[in-house]
Amino acid sequence: MPALPDLFAQALNGLSYGVLLFLLSVGLTLIFGMLDVVNLAHGSFYMLGAYAGLTLIATTGNFWLALVAAPLVVGGIGAVIERSCLRPLYRRQPLDQVLLTFGLIYLFEDLVKWIWGGRIRSIPAPDLFSGSVTVLGATVPSYRLFVIVFGLGMAVAVWLLIERTRLGSIIRAGVFDAEMTGGMGVNIHRVFTGVFAFGAALGGLSGVIAGPIQSAYPPMGASILIPALIVVVVGGLGSLKGSLVGSLIIGQAETFGKAWLPGASMLMIYLVMAAIVLLRPQGLFGRPLK
Pick the closer one to other proteins by CB: 83 or 121: 121
Helix (H) or strand (E) holding 12: helix 4-35
CB 10 to other proteins: min, Å: 6
Pick the closer one to other proteins by CB: 39 or 255: 255
CB 143 within 8 A of CB 213: yes
Q: Rounded to an integer, what is the distance from CA 95 to the centroid of its chain?
A: 22
Pick the closer one to other proteins by CB: 224 or 244: 224
Helix (H) or strand (E) holding 138: strand 138-141
- Integer-rounded Cα Rg, in Å, for the chain is 19
Pick the closer one to other proteins by CB: 68 or 120: 120
Closest CA relative to residue 27, chosen from 194, 178, 213, 223: 194
CB 144 to other proteins: min, Å: 8
Distance CA 61, CA 199 (A): 26
Pick the closer one to other proteins by CB: 228 or 240: 228
Q: Rounded to an integer, what is the distance from CA 83 to the centroid of its chain?
A: 22
Q: How many residues does the chain have?
A: 290
CB 257 to other proteins: min, Å: 8
User: Alpha carbon of 137 to those of 3, 9, 18, 19, 279: distances in Å?
Assistant: 11, 8, 21, 22, 37
CB 222 to other proteins: min, Å: 9
Pick the closer one to other proteins by CB: 141 or 182: 141
CB 140 to other proteins: min, Å: 8
Distance CA 207, CA 12 (A): 21
Which stretches of the chain bind other proteins, using CB under 8 A?
A: 3, 5-6, 9-10, 13-14, 16-17, 109, 118-122, 124-125, 131-132, 138-141, 143-144, 212-215, 217-220, 223-224, 254-256, 258-259, 262-263, 265-266
Q: Rounded to an integer, what is the distance from CA 266 to the centroid of its chain?
A: 19
CB 177 to other proteins: min, Å: 30
